[in-house]
Structure 1
Amino acid sequence: MESPAPARSARAPATPTCTVPGLLVGLTKLLSLTKACAAPTPAADDGGREAAAAAATKPGHDPGPDPRLVLVRLFDAVSALKSGYVKLQRAHFPYDPDRVASADEAVASELDSVAALQCLCSSRRGIGPLVDDRWSLVQRLEAEARGRDADIAALGRELRRLQHDNARLSRRVVRSRNDDERRRTRLLLSVPKELTTPAALVSRFVAASRSVGDFAGLLHGAGTCASSSDDAVAEQARSWRRYAIEAHLWRAMLLVGTGGGDAGSSFHGIMKPRDALDALMQFPRSGLSAFCRAAYLAAVSPEAEAAACRNLDHRAFVSRGGHPRTRLYRAFAAAARSVWALRVLMAGCSESEQSGGGGDGVRMFYASRGSLYRAEFMESVPALGAEEDRRVETGEEKLSVAFTVTPGVKVGDTVVPCRVLLCRRREGFVRIR
C-alpha cells in the first residue's frame, strides 16, 4: 500500500486570548478617553516625571511600562487589526484560498498583540487605573452636561411662556387704553347725532372757514402799514399775504390735538354761549380750553402778536393758562372754537361710520403745490374771470396750485372744494395770478 500523501503543513490555530465583545468594550472606553488622557497638562506631566524619578530611586523598585507608550502601541495595533480585517474581506471577493489564509494569519497575529496589550492595560502595572479614573470622570462630565442641557431646555420653555404672556398682556393694555379713550371721548364730548349728518358737517365747515378768515384778516390788517398807493401790484401782494396767513392758521390748528376735558364739560355746553370767551370761562378745564392755548402758541407767531399788540403780553398770559379778554384773543377764540367743533364732529362722524360698518366717513384734503387745477375739487382765490374760466375748461391755459388757503372736506358724496391760490407758467417762470 502506498503511504498517504503528506498533508500540507498548516499552522495550528492559536488559542484565542481575546474575545471580540470584550475587546470592543475596551476599545469603546479607550476611544472615548482619547481626548481626556492622551494629552496630559504640562503641570501634571512634570509632576508625574518627578514622582516616577523619586520612585525609581527607591530600592527594589520595579518600573512598569510607560502608560503613554502603551496607549500608542495599543492604537497602532488596533489600526493594524483593522487593516488586516479589510485585507481578509478583500480576499473573499474573488475568493483566493492562499490570500484568505495569509490574511487570517495576519488578523490572528494582530489579535494576539491586542490581547497582550489589553492584559497589560488591565493590570495594576499598566494604565488600567488611569483608564478607569478617566472613564468615571467622562461619565460624570456627561451627566453634568445632560443636566445643563435639561436646565437650558426648561429655561427656554419658561422664556417662551413669558414672552407669550407679555404679548397677551400688551394687547390687553392697548385694547383697554383704546376703550378708555373712546369711553372718555363719549362721556366728555357727547355729540348729538343730528350734528353728525353731512349737511351739519358742511355747515360747520363753512362757519369755521369764515371764522378763520376773519381772524386772518384781523392779523393782516394789524400788521399792514397804511398806504395811499393804489398800485395794483401792492394790492395783490397784500392779498397774497392775507391768504398766506389764513393758510398758516389752518395748518397750525389742524396739527394741534383736540385736547381732553373733564366730566363737567360737554359739546353742547361748550357751543351754547354766543361768545367763545364765555365758554372758556365756564369750562376752564375743557378740551376747548387746552386746544385754544396750544393753538394760539402755534398759530400766532411772536412777530405777528408784536405787530398787532406792540407787546407779547398775550403770549405770556396764555402760556400761564389764562385767556385774555381782548379783541384779538376774542377773534382767535371764535376761530379756534369753530375749528375745534369741526374736528370733534368729524371724529364723531367717523366713529359712527366705523361702528355702523358702512360709508366713507369724513375726510379733509389739501391740494399739493404744483397740482393741476381741477374745478370739482378746487376753488380759486381770487375767483377766476369768465374768460379765464373758459380758457381753463378748453385747455388753452393750464393753472397750477401755488398753495392751499383753506382745506376741502368730503362727507360721503358731498364735496366742499378747497380754496387754492393758483399760478400759471410762462416761458419757464412761475407767475402768481
Structure 2
Amino acid sequence: MAARASSLSGLLNRVSFSCLNAPPTLAPGEVDDSEPDEGGENEVAEEEPEEEEATAAGGAAEALMEEVFQAVAALKKAYVALQEAHSPWDPAKIAAGDAAVVAELRRLAWLRERFRRGTPSTEYPLRECIVPYAVAMADLKRDLKVKEAEIESFRERVLAIEGRGASSRKGRRRVRRSAAVAPLVGKPTADLFRGHMEEVRRAVRSLASRFLTLIRGARWDIAGAVRAILDAAGTRVPDLGAEHAKPAMEAYVNRKLFQGFENESFYLEGSLSSLLDPDKHRRACYAQFRDMRGMDPGELLGVLPGCPFGRFAAAKYLALVHPSTEESLFGDLDQRRLVQDGAHPRTAFYGEFLRLAKAVWLLHLLAFALDPAPSLFDALPGSEFSPAHMDSVVPRRRGLVGFAVAPGFKLADRSLVRARVYVVPADSSSESARVVPLIS
C-alpha cells in the first residue's frame, strides 16, 4: 500500500511538471499570442509587487519624516510663544502656549510610535484622541471650583449686607443701592472692600493658629509669649492667660502686616503716583487687583520674585518673624536667609504667610482704587468700648479696650468696617479713650 501511495505521488508530480513545462495544445484556428520566452511573464509579475511595495514603503517613510520635521518646527514655534508670554506676564497666553507645547510633544510621541510599529496610519489612536479632552475637563473642573468659591464669597457678602440693612431704613437703602451697582463689572465698590476685609481676617486667624501650633510644639511658655507680644505693643493687661493667646497673636500679626497701610507703597518706595495722577493710579491699582486676585502667590513669586508684591512680602516676613523666634521654631535661619537673598521659600509656614500677605496687598490695592480711599482707624488701649465702631473678640460687651486685635475702616459711603478689640473690665486700664484715624 505504501508502494502504491509512493508511485501515485510520483505520478502526480510528473504530470504537474509536464503541464507546467509543456506548451498548451491549440485548437484548430486558434492563434498563440504568448511571448516566446516561457516564464518571463511570471518573473515580471513577481518583480512588480516587490517594486511597488518598496516604493510605497519609501513614500511612507518620507511622509513620516516630513511630519516629524513639521512637528519639530511647530514645537519650536510654540515654545517661543510660551517664553514671550512670560514677559510681560500674560496668564492667558501662558496657558495657551503651554497647551500648544504639550500638543506638539504628544504629536511627536505618536509619530515615534508609528515609526516603531511601522504603521503608516495617519489616524491618532483612540487613547491619544481622548487625552486632550481629559486635560481640558480637568482644567474646567478647576475653574468651576474657583467660580464656586467666588459665588460663595459673594453670597456671604450679600448676607452680611442684608444683615446690616435690616436694622434700619438707611441700611435697606444702602442694600438697594449696592445691588443696583453690583452688575457693573470693572468698578471698585465699598461692598467689595468689606468682603475682602473678611478674607484678610480669615487669613490672619489661620496664620495666628499656625504660629501658636509651632510655639506649643517648641514647648514655649504660652502665657509668657502673650505677655511679650503685648509688652512690645505697649499694652498692659493684667491676668491675661494662655487661653487668650489667639487674639493676642492675631493682634501682633495685624499690627505688623498693616503697618504702613496708609502709604501707597507701604513706605517701600518713594513713589508719589497717587498724588501726581490720582485717576491713573486708581485705575492701575484696580487693574492689578483684578489680575492678581486669582493667582497663586507662591507661583507668582516663583516667576517674579522681585516684583512689588515680592518686596512687600519679604519686608513683612522679616518684620513678623524675629531671627531668634525663627531659629527656635524651625531650628535654623534658612527661610530668613532665602528671603534676604530675594527668594521665597517653599515651606508650609511661608506658604501660609504668603496667603495672608497677598490678602493684605489686595486690600491695599483696593483701598487706593476707591475714591476717596477708606480711612483706617484703631482703638487705643483704655478706650471706652463703642459697639458702633468696634466688635469684641470676647463675650464681654461693656468695659474698656484692653488691646486692639484688628483695625477698622471708615468708607466713602459712610459705612464702617468695625475694628476688633479685646474688652477688659473698666477697672483694668486707666488710659484715655479715643479713636485715631491713620488715613485721611
Range of TM-score over shorter length: 0.3 to 0.5
Which structure: larger Rg?
Answer: 1
**TM-score after normalising by structure 2:** 0.43
**TM-score after normalising by structure 1:** 0.44
